[in-house]
Amino acid sequence: MDYFVHPGQHGLNLSRPQFDEALARACEQCGATVLRSAILRRALKRETDWEIELSVGDKIRKCTASVIIDATGRVATFARSQGAKVRAHDRQIAVVAFHNDSNDRNNTRSLVESAEIGWWYSAPIGPTRRICMLVTDDDFLPRRGHPELYAWWLDQLSRTGQLAYRFRDSGASCQLVIRSARSQRVEPPCGIGWFAVGDAAMAFDPMSSQGIAKALDHGKRAAADIASHLAGDASTMERFALNLERQYTAYRARRADYYRIEKRWSRSMFWKRRHEGP
């Protein structure tokens, strides 16, 4: 959850691998069958259910399901296979680097710093490693390969007030990873026998710090709606889609308010785009 504006200004950085494994074990303890490293190969809609083919390791497994939940993240693999469209509302990306930080083990703080080109984020991801990423728009990046991209990234980093010092020993061999950080939603977020949840339904700006909380909330809401759907409630899917639309609309308005707080770079195209609002 967002703790940067919390009165106590204190929060916890979640270890995703440990959290995901603990969640899977909790599901198994409740009676669910968890297939790790499984890949959906085929899903054929029958009259009342889905005929599914999975690859689990080197084996093929077949099963049937009444409902399929798409929790594949931003790619929304299954929803798109059913004709849904991903609607993006900006061009935002994150240029990410990782580095060893063995000399700064006691520094557990996360840091966000705005800049003319966008904003930066740094946080520990283990006892001796940190993540450092620049969030900007994709049309600002150089296009001539990694060496030029890395030189540009270092130049932008050198213009910061805080992160330039923290990340000064990253080393010339640092590899950058580019990931989507745009605000997007899937339309429609559900169909006959399927629902999209979490980032597959809608993906938020990382500034919101809401990805995990949103995914858990969607899972809980979808479970109740699926139970109603299977019990014969014909309005379930319409209600599910309407609730997601309201959530996404509220998120975009709140995101615009956050970005309008920064007033220093009135000529920056990055900030101009965000001050225009949704």
**What percent of the chain shows pLDDT beyond 90?**
64
Query: Domain tally for the chain?
Result: 2
User: Is 250 found in the same domain as 198?
Assistant: yes
User: Is 266 found in the same domain as 148?
Assistant: no
User: Is 245 found in the same domain as 220?
Assistant: yes
CA atoms of 56 and 39, how far apart (whole Å): 7
Pick the last residue of a domain from 155, 180, 205: 180
Residue 272 lies in a domain: yes
**Sheet with strand 184-187: strands edge to edge:** 85-88, 184-187, 202-203
Residue 273 lies in a domain: yes
Neighbours of 254 (CB within 10 A): 14
Residue 28 lies in a domain: no
Pick the last residue of a domain from 180, 214, 234: 180
Residue 45 lies in a domain: no
Interval 162-185: pLDDT, tens: 888 777 665 545 789 999 999 999
Interval 180-211: pLDDT, tens: 999 999 999 999 999 999 999 999 998 887 88
pLDDT at 1 over 80: no
Pick the last residue of a domain from 157, 180, 203: 180
User: Is 98 found in the same domain as 175?
Assistant: yes
User: Is 255 found in the same domain as 151?
Assistant: no
User: Is 173 found in the same domain as 106?
Assistant: yes
Averaged over 239-253, what is the pLDDT?
Answer: 94
Residue 41 lies in a domain: no
Neighbours of 166 (CB within 10 A): 21
Q: 142: cis peptide before it, omega within 30°?
A: no
Neighbours of 256 (CB within 10 A): 14
Residue 79 lies in a domain: yes
User: Is 153 found in the same domain as 80?
Assistant: no
Interval 43-89: pLDDT, tens: 999 988 999 999 998 899 999 999 999 999 999 999 999 999 999 99
User: Is 158 found in the same domain as 193?
Assistant: no
User: Is 103 found in the same domain as 85?
Assistant: no
CATH code of 85's domain? 3.50.50.60
User: Is 171 found in the same domain as 235?
Assistant: no
Q: What is the pTM of this model?
A: 0.86
* Chain mean pLDDT for the chain: 88
pLDDT at 82: 95
DSSP E strands: which ranges in 5-153?
A: 38-45, 50-56, 59-65, 68-70, 85-88, 92-100, 111-115, 118-124, 129-137
Residue 22 lies in a domain: no
Residue 140 lies in a domain: yes
Q: Give the position of tokens 């949704």.
A: 278
User: Is 154 found in the same domain as 193?
Assistant: no
pLDDT at 125 over 90: no
User: Is 207 found in the same domain as 163?
Assistant: no
pLDDT at 74: 94
CA atoms of 16 and 212, how far apart (whole Å): 9
pLDDT at 175: 85
Averaged over 120-135, what is the pLDDT?
Answer: 87
Residue 271's domain comprises 68-89+185-278
Q: pLDDT band at residue 36, thresholds of 50, 70 and 90?
A: confident
